[in-house]
A = this chain, B = another copy of it.
C-alpha cells in the first residue's frame, strides 16, 4: 500500500528542472500582449487619458480604457472587477489603461507613453482613521459586494451574531461573539492583561506572477481562459457574472500554479476576458513583479486588542477582543475567521469578541495561507505566553490546562470532534528543546500553537481503468501542494495497482467534475474523499468482472501489484488491465471500469500545529537569528509524510516571515513603498534554520484514511513563537509585526532606560 509512503511530488522534478510549462509559456498564434498603465495616486478622479502617443508605437493594436469596455463602466463589486478604473481610482497602482500589442516590448514601450491626468483626492490609509464616522468614504455610492476568496478558505463562521446595523461608512463587516458575562469573568481574575497587537500587510509572494490568456472562438462565441488559478470553477463563475454570460460559454483551463498561497483566485481573468472579446484576438496579461506588489491581493494589516483574565492557578476567566482588519478598497477580509479563532483554542468561560472590517485606499485584500489565523494567533499566543510568564507558570502546561478538545463549543456554535491540539502540545512537551530548555546566552525559546478549522466543499471524481492497466482519475481540483500525488496514492492503494499506473487528470471546467478552489486545507479532505470513493467503486467493478470471467465469487478475489489473485492461491489469475480490456473492446460483454465518487463533507476536520523556536537576539542591533525550529502538527493520517513535511517546512518558514521580516508599506498618501523583492524582505534560505517536524496523527472520522488538511496550520504559530522566544531571550514583549531589528532595538533600549531609571529611582 502506498498510503503512508514518502513519495516525491509527481511534477517536482519538472518544477525543479524548469521544464514544467506555465501559463506564460503557452504559445498561441495571433497572441496580443497586454501591458497595464497604473495610477500614480491612491485616490483621485480620472480626468483624461491621452492614448495617441501610445497608439503610435509600432506593433500596438489598441490602447484601451474603461471607456472602451462597457463591463468596467459601473461601480465595481470586487478588486478583480476594478482592474480598469472607471471615473475614480481607489488605490495606488490601480490600472487606468491597457495596451495591446504584437510583442511584449511594444506593449511596454506603448504603456510608458500613455498620458494620465488624474485629479488627486485625499486618501484614507490608516484603518483606525477610516473607521471614524466622518472619514472620507471609500465608496460614496455604497459598499461593493463581498468577494469569495477569503470565504473559500474560511471555516464556517456564519452563525455569529451580526452585530450592530449602524456601522461607520467605511466599515464593511462586523461580527460579535459573546459567551457568559464578561464583567464577571474579569472580576474573577487574579491577573487582567490588556495588549494591542498589530500585524503588517503581507504578500503571498508566489514565484510565478499572475498570468492569464483568453481567446474567443469566433465560430461558437465561446471563451477559453488559460489562467494560473487555484479556483478554475470560481473563475468561470466570476467571469460569467462579470460579462453577463452563461457559464457554459466559458471554459477555464487552469495552468500550473507556481505558488498561490491563497493569492490566486480570480484577478486578471475578467479584464483579459473583456480584452479578448473586444479585440477578437487571443490576449495575454502577465504581471510584472512590481505589479504583483501593487495590484495583487495581499493580506492587509490587522489591529487586535486582547484583554484577558486569568486566576493565579492558570485558570482562564475572560477574554475581550477587538479585531480590526484593513481590507483595502474591497471587502473580503478574514476578520470573522480571526474572531472565531480567538475563541476556538482555549476555554474562556466568558468572552466578548468583536471584529470589524475596514475599507481603505489600498488594493483589495486576498487570502493568504490560513487567512486571519496568523493575525489572531499572534495576538492570542503572545497573550497566553505573557500571562504565563507574569504568573510564573510554565507556558506549555498553562496551555494544556486550558486547551479545548472534543465536544467544546466554538464561537460559531459548532462543536469540536476529535482534534489534535492537545496532542501537538504534548508532542513538544517531550521534545528535548522544551524539556531541557537549553539555550545559550542571548537566546530564548518560544512556544505557540496554531490551527485551522478546514474548509468544506462538495467534490466529485472519476476513476477510469484502461486496457494497459493504467488508471485515470479525473478531478476538478488544482494541484498546489502535491495533493495530486496523495490522490494517486489513495487510488493506487485502494485499487491495488502500482503507483506509476495512476494518473491524476485535472482538466478544465469543461472536462472536469466539480471541485472548489484548492485552498483552505480542504483538497484531500473533500476531493480526496471523492477520489477514494471513485477508486473503491472501480475496484468493485474490477472484482465483479474478473469474478464473472474467472467463474469465482468476487469476495474470493483480491488485487495487488496490478494482478488479480484468488485468495490463498499464490499465482495471479489475470492483470487488472486484462479485466479493463474485457470491457473496452468490440463486442465486449462488460461495462467499462469507470467508478464515480462524490463527497459532501458536513463536518470539518480541524488541524492544529504547535511550534517551538530558539532564537538569538543581537543585543547591539536587535537583529534576531532563528536557530532552531520544531513543528508538531496533527494531520489525522499522514498519507505522504514527505509532502506533509514539505508543508510544515514551508508553513514554518512563512510564519517566520510574518514574525520577523515581511511587510508591505504605504506612505500617508497610500503610495506603496514596497514594490519589489528589494524592498519586501522574504525569508530566504540562510535565514531559515533546519526545521524539525513531528507528525501527530489523531484520525479524522471523515477524512480519507483519517486524513485532515495540512496546508494551513503550520504557518499559524510562527509569529507568536518568535515573539515569545524574544520575550524569553531579552524580556521584551513585542506586539507589532514584523519584529524588525529597529523595533526590537527600540523596545530593548526603552526597557533598558526604564530599568535604569527604576534602578536610579529606587537605588541600586
Contact = CB atoms under 8 A, between A and B. Distances in A.
Interface of A: 14, 19-21, 27, 29, 148, 151-152, 154, 156, 158, 218-220, 233, 237, 240, 246-248, 455-460, 462, 464, 466-468, 470, 472, 474, 501, 503, 505, 507, 510-511, 513-514, 516-517, 583-592, 594, 596, 598-600, 602
Contact of A218 (B19, B154, B158): B19
Given A248-B470, A466-B247, A468-B240, A455 B592 contact: no
B503 A584 contact: no
- Shortest 8 CB-CB distances between A and B: which pairs? A591-B598, A248-B470, A19-B219, A511-B511, A596-B596, A27-B29, A247-B468, A460-B594
Contacts of A466: 247-248, 514
B457 A587 contact: yes
Q: Binding site of A, secondary structure by majority: helix, strand, loop or mixed?
A: loop
A505 B158 CA distance: 38
B592 A459 contact: yes
Most chain-B Cβ atoms within 10 A of its Cβ — which of A14, A152, A583? A583
Contact of A511 (B219, B467, B505): B505
A78 to B, nearest CB: 16
B594 A589 contact: no
Contacts of A458: 583-585, 588-592
Nearest to A462: B462
Contacts of A591: 458, 460, 598-600
Residue from A19, A594, A599 with most neighbouring chain B CB atoms (10 Å): A594
Given A29-B27, A600-B591, A151 B219 contact: no
A218 B14 CA distance: 10
28 contacts: A19-B218, A21-B219, A148-B586, A152-B586, A154-B586, A158-B587, A233-B584, A237-B467, A247-B468, A247-B470, A248-B503, A455-B586, A456-B587, A457-B585, A457-B586, A458-B590, A462-B513, A464-B513, A474-B511, A503-B510, A505-B511, A513-B594, A516-B584, A516-B586, A583-B600, A589-B600, A592-B598, A596-B596
B246 A468 contact: yes
A215 B421 CA distance: 51
Nearest to A515: B592
Nearest to A245: B468
Contacts of A233: 584
Contact of A14 (B219, B464, B590, B602): B219
A514 B457 contact: no
Contacts of A507: 511
A148 B587 CA distance: 12
How many copies make up the complex? 2
A543 to B, nearest CB: 16
B456 A586 contact: yes
A240 B469 CA distance: 13
A219 B22 CA distance: 12
Contacts of A511: 474, 505, 507, 511
B600 A513 contact: no
Contacts of A148: 586
A138 to B, nearest CB: 26
Contacts of A21: 219
B156 A587 contact: yes
A12 to B, nearest CB: 12
Contacts of A456: 586-588
A116 B152 CA distance: 67
B468 A514 contact: no
Contacts of A596: 462, 594, 596
A466 B232 CA distance: 13
Contact of A514 (B219, B247, B592): B592
A240 B577 CA distance: 14
Given A248-B503, A462-B513, A151 B586 contact: yes
Contacts of A598: 591-592, 594
A10 to B, nearest CB: 10
In this complex, the member of A511, A516, A583, A587 whose beta carbon has the largest number of chain B beta carbons within 10 angstroms is A587
Nearest to A233: B584
Nearest to A599: B591
Contacts of A470: 246-248
Contacts of A510: 472, 503, 505
A583 B602 CA distance: 12
Contacts of A583: 458, 514, 600
Nearest to A148: B586
Contacts of A464: 460, 513-514
Contact of A590 (B158, B468, B586, B600): B600
Nearest to A508: B511
Nearest to A456: B587
A591 B597 CA distance: 9
Given A458-B590, A514-B592, A514-B594, 17 more contacts: A14-B220, A148-B586, A152-B586, A247-B468, A248-B468, A248-B470, A248-B472, A457-B585, A458-B589, A460-B464, A462-B462, A462-B596, A464-B513, A503-B510, A505-B510, A516-B585, A594-B596
A484 to B, nearest CB: 14
A517 to B, nearest CB: 8
Which of A240, A459, A513, A588: most chain B CB closer than 10 A? A588
A3 B423 CA distance: 61
A602 B587 CA distance: 8
A334 to B, nearest CB: 14
A456 B583 CA distance: 11
A468 B243 CA distance: 14
A617 to B, nearest CB: 42
Contacts of A460: 464, 591-592, 594
A408 to B, nearest CB: 21
A586 B454 CA distance: 11
A151 B586 CA distance: 8
A154 B585 CA distance: 13
A401 to B, nearest CB: 33
A133 to B, nearest CB: 33
